[in-house]
Amino acid sequence: MRKSSKVRRLLLMTLLSVTLLPVTSYSLADNQPAGGAPGVTDVVYDAALKTGVVNVSTSAQLERAIAQATAGTTIVLADGIYTGIKALQISGKHGSKNSPITIKAANRGQAIIAGAEVLQIVRSSHIVVEGLKITNTGTATRSIAVQLDGSNNIRLTRNTFAVPATGNKMIWLEIKGKGSSDNRIDRNNFEGKTDSEPVIAYSGYNNGQIKEISQRDVIEYNHFHQTSSTKDNGNEVIRLGISKISLTSGHIKIQYNLFEDCNADKEVVSVKTGDNEVRYNTFRNNSGGLTARHGHNNKFYGNFFFGDGKKKVLGIRVYGNDHKIYNNYFQGITSQAIFLDSGDYDGGTDGKAPNHTEDDLKKQWRVYRATVVNNTIVNSTVGITVGSTKKYAPNGSWIANNIVSNQTGILYEENSITDTVFKGNIGFGSTLNNTSRGPSEIVAVNPALTISDDLHKLSANSPAINKAVIDSQLEQRVNVTDDMDGQLRSQTDVGADEFSNAAISRKPLTKNDVGPNAPE
User: pLDDT value at position 48?
Assistant: 60
Q: Decide: 69 and 124 in contact? Cβ < 8 Å.
A: no
Closest CA to 295 of 352, 345, 349: 352
CA distance 461 to 448: 7
Q: Which residues on neighbouring strands pair with residue 71, listed in sequence order?
A: none
Tens of pLDDT, residue by residue over 46-72, are: 656 555 899 999 999 999 999 999 999
DSSP 8-class letter at 468 = P
Residue 13 within a domain: no
Same domain? For 142 and 100 the reply is no
Distances (CA, A) of 471 to 302, 325, 404: 21, 17, 21
Residue 12 within a domain: no
Tens of pLDDT, residue by residue over 230-241, are: 777 899 999 999
Residue 306 within a domain: yes
Q: Summarize the confidence of residues 348-353 as an average pLDDT.
A: 96
Dihedral sign, Cα of residue 509, residue 510, residue 514, residue 519: negative
| pLDDT band, residue 298 (cuts 50/70/90) | very high
Same domain? For 206 and 301 the reply is yes
Cβ-Cβ contacts under 8 Å for 211 (sequence gap 6 or more): 204, 205, 244, 245, 247, 248
User: pLDDT value at position 85?
Assistant: 58
User: pLDDT value at position 297?
Assistant: 98
Q: Which residues on neighbouring strands pair with residue 305, listed in sequence order?
A: 283, 330
Same domain? For 178 and 276 the reply is yes
Same domain? For 192 and 278 the reply is yes
User: pLDDT value at position 309?
Assistant: 79
User: pLDDT value at position 511?
Assistant: 97
Residue 9 within a domain: no
Decide if pLDDT at 3 tops 50. no
Q: Decide: 250 and 214 in contact? Cβ < 8 Å.
A: yes
Decide if pLDDT at 371 tops 70. yes
Amino acid identity, position 49:
L
| pLDDT band, residue 20 (cuts 50/70/90) | very low
Closest CA to 307 of 247, 233, 378, 221: 378
| pLDDT band, residue 39 (cuts 50/70/90) | very low
User: pLDDT value at position 49?
Assistant: 57
Decide if pLDDT at 16 tops 60. no
Amino acid identity, position 265:
D
Same domain? For 39 and 172 the reply is no
Q: Which residues of 415-452 are buried (b: 16+ CB within 10 A; e: fewer)?
A: bbebebebbbbbbbbbebbeeebeeebbbebebebeee
Q: What is the DSSP string of 177-243?
A: STT-BS-EEES-EEE---SSS-SEEEEEEEETTEEE--BS-EEES-EEEEE--SSSSS--SEEE--G
Same domain? For 138 and 29 the reply is no
- Domains of the chain: total: 2
Q: Which of 110, 135, 153 is the last residue of a domain?
A: 110
Same domain? For 193 and 268 the reply is yes
Tens of pLDDT, residue by residue over 421-478, are: 999 999 999 999 999 999 999 999 999 999 999 999 999 999 999 999 999 999 999 9
Task: Please give the residue that has the higher pLDDT: either 223 or 45.
Answer: 223
Question: How many residues can be counted in the chain?
Answer: 520
Please give the share of the chain, as a percent, with pLDDT higher than 90: 82
Q: SS3 for 136?
A: coil
Distances (CA, A) of 21 to 16, 74, 106, 334, 457: 9, 18, 21, 65, 64
User: pLDDT value at position 513?
Assistant: 98
Q: SS3 for 282?
A: strand
User: pLDDT value at position 47?
Assistant: 59
Q: Which of 110, 129, 155 is the last residue of a domain?
A: 110
Residue 15 within a domain: no
Which domain does 407 fall in, by range?
111-513
Closest CA to 134 of 143, 122, 123: 143
Same domain? For 61 and 126 the reply is no
Tens of pLDDT, residue by residue over 111-161, are: 999 987 789 999 999 999 999 999 998 777 679 999 999 999 999 999 999
Residue 491 within a domain: yes
CA distance 331 to 303: 11
Residue 1 within a domain: no
Amino acid identity, position 63:
E
Residue 519 within a domain: no
Q: Which of 110, 127, 143 is the last residue of a domain?
A: 110
Same domain? For 40 and 131 the reply is no
Same domain? For 119 and 92 the reply is no
List the CATH number of the domain containing 387: 2.160.20.10
Distances (CA, A) of 515 to 8, 153, 283, 462: 58, 20, 15, 38
Q: In a 10 Å sphere around its CB, with 0-12 CB exposed, 13-18 middle and 19+ buried, how is residue 476 labelled? A: exposed
Tens of pLDDT, residue by residue over 90-108, are: 999 999 999 999 999 999 9
Same domain? For 82 and 130 the reply is no
User: pLDDT value at position 380?
Assistant: 95
Same domain? For 69 and 160 the reply is no
Neighbours of 210 (CB within 10 A): 10
CA distance 490 to 389: 40
Task: Please give the residue that has the higher pLDDT: either 409 or 276.
Answer: 276
Closest CA to 237 of 275, 308, 185: 185
Q: In a 10 Å sphere around its CB, with 0-12 CB exposed, 13-18 middle and 19+ buried, how is residue 282 labelled? A: buried
Q: Summarize the confidence of residues 314-327 as an average pLDDT.
A: 98
Q: Decide: 208 and 500 in contact? Cβ < 8 Å.
A: no
CA distance 289 to 285: 10
